[in-house]
Amino acid sequence: MITIRPTSLDEDAALLGPMGIAFGIGAVPERVARLQSLAEFQMRLGAFDGDALVGSAGSWSFATTTPGGVAVETEGLTIVAVLPTHRRRGILRELMRAHLDETRARGKSVASLFASEGSIYGRFGYGVASFGGSIALDRDRSQFSGAPGAAATARFRLVDLDEAAREFAPIYERVRLATPGLLSRSPSWWRSRRLSDPDWARAGRPAQLRVLCTLDGRPAGYAAYRVGTHVVDDVLAGSLDVVEALGDSPAATRAIWRYLCDTDLVRTIRASLLPIDHPLLHLVVEPGRLGMRLNDAVWIRLVDVAAALSQRGWEAEGPPLVIGVRDAFCPWNEGSYRLADGKAARTGEAPDLTLDVDALGATYLGGVGFTRLADAGRAVERTPGALLRADALFRSARAPWCPEVF
């Protein structure tokens, strides 16, 4: 018989075991130390066959920015794995049950995740709330349009881990609440995850470089990136892989990307997990040369629909709207909700539109619209005009963005 229970810190090596086997990753002592250094890692769940840990799940406690600049407490699901010897016996399902029940018991209204395989999580009520764009841009096709303006006065300084952790965090904080999807980060998250680059985790990649961009002497942008050199047809054809780059103003955004695109010996600049409306699409004179490809990024699960909608921010106002929700996996959410003045409450009124909870989760960060969900048969309009009203209410001017897999 399989039992699911919270695990203790002493069991962290065992808890990381199924992930290590599924993804072929070693260095368990280092991974345990890193996990334990992260303030966000606050939920540990193990599936046991007798005394043996055969399945794992955990979650990060962080806040996710929603439209309107409001950050909502979120349980970010991670380290989900089941040993190959125990697959397809319902262990993942039990872990999902325990994770959502525990999230609810902790008073959190939203869970999120990155999916290794998109076909797994819809059945548990998660919907794709943001997409990530990957680019591969040839340096000699990276010309920007318009005049550089204030970006021309930018200065750059390569910094070590300590200085990067100190200087990058305030810049990120200025961008965070203006950008749906961005996560809160503790100092330990910056040091042990985002900027961490130990030999054991590098897997043969070049070392991470970190650059600080100042405008008028003020820190305004940064990039973490890697440069590798290759010889192709007797010519140096390096590649630059962006880990994360952002600026706190249009000038800083332009300056940091110009810096990356001007790196000598580099032929191709690569980045992934960019927002799908990244300013780069409008900076470069040939957007098609970015070769942007899409992938699903953050999936959102509304664990408590009324609380999640009431905690969310809004960029727009509108007349009350009644949303009917179906939720087979968390039946406490089933019913109709009246959304008025940015707050949601249960109602007996007939819904203006109906949808499953995974589709509603997809709209949560403002990047997926109700009309398009309806076009795909994932939402149904009951009152004429309701889809357009919902689109206007839920939308975000900026596409949601999460620059890191958690």
Q: If DSSP codes are grouped into helix, strand and coil, which group holds residue 355?
A: strand
Q: How far apart are the C-alpha atoms of 28 and 15, rounded to whole Å?
A: 10
Of 150, 152, 168, the closest CA to residue 160 belongs to 168
Q: State the nearest-atom distance from the C-beta of 53 to ligand COA, in Å.
A: 13
341, exposed or middle or buried, with CB in 10 Å at 0-12, 13-18, 19+? Answer: exposed
Query: Residues 27, 201: contact at Cβ < 8 Å?
Result: yes
Among positions 120, 237, 340, 392, the unique one binding ligand COA when judged by CB under 6 A: 120
Q: State the nearest-atom distance from the C-beta of 72 to ligand COA, in Å.
A: 22
Given the rule CB under 6 A, which of 112-120, 150-158, 198-206, 301-309 is the region that contacts ligand COA?
112-120
Which pair of structure tokens corresponds to residue 253?
Answer: 């955004």
Active-site annotation holds for 172: no
Residue 203: how many CB atoms within 10 A of its CB?
7
Residue 23 phi/psi, 5-degree rounding, is: -105, 5
Residue number, 126 or 314, with CB nearest to ligand COA: 126
Q: State the nearest-atom distance from the C-beta of 119 to ligand COA, in Å.
A: 4
Q: State the nearest-atom distance from the C-beta of 82 to ligand COA, in Å.
A: 4
Q: By CB under 6 A, tell whether 28 contacts ligand COA.
A: no
Q: How far apart are the C-alpha atoms of 137 and 118, rounded to whole Å?
A: 27
Handedness of CA 190, 191, 193, 196 (dihedral sign): positive
Residues 84-103 interacting with ligand COA (rule: CB under 6 A):
87-93
Q: By CB under 6 A, tell whether 111 contacts ligand COA.
A: no
Residues 282-301 interacting with ligand COA (rule: CB under 6 A):
none
Q: How far apart are the C-alpha atoms of 279 and 292, rounded to whole Å?
A: 13
Residue number, 20 or 313, with CB nearest to ligand COA: 20
Residue nearest to ligand COA (CB): 92
Residue 352: how many CB atoms within 10 A of its CB?
23
Among positions 14, 81, 164, 283, the unique one binding ligand COA when judged by CB under 6 A: 81
Q: State the nearest-atom distance from the C-beta of 88 to ligand COA, in Å.
A: 4
Query: Residues 344, 305: contact at Cβ < 8 Å?
Result: yes
CA dihedral 22, 24, 28, 33 (to 10 degrees): -80
Given the rule CB under 6 A, which of 8-16, 111-119, 180-188, 213-221 is the region that contacts ligand COA?
111-119
Q: State the nearest-atom distance from the C-beta of 34 to ligand COA, in Å.
A: 18
Query: Residues 281, 287: contact at Cβ < 8 Å?
Result: yes
Among positions 10, 50, 51, 119, the unique one binding ligand COA when judged by CB under 6 A: 119
Catalytic position from the list 114, 121, 225, 337: 121
Active-site annotation holds for 329: no
Among positions 10, 51, 117, 233, the unique one binding ligand COA when judged by CB under 6 A: 117
Residues at the site binding ligand COA, with contacts judged by CB under 6 A: 22, 80-82, 87-93, 115-117, 119-120, 123
Catalytic site positions: 121, 406
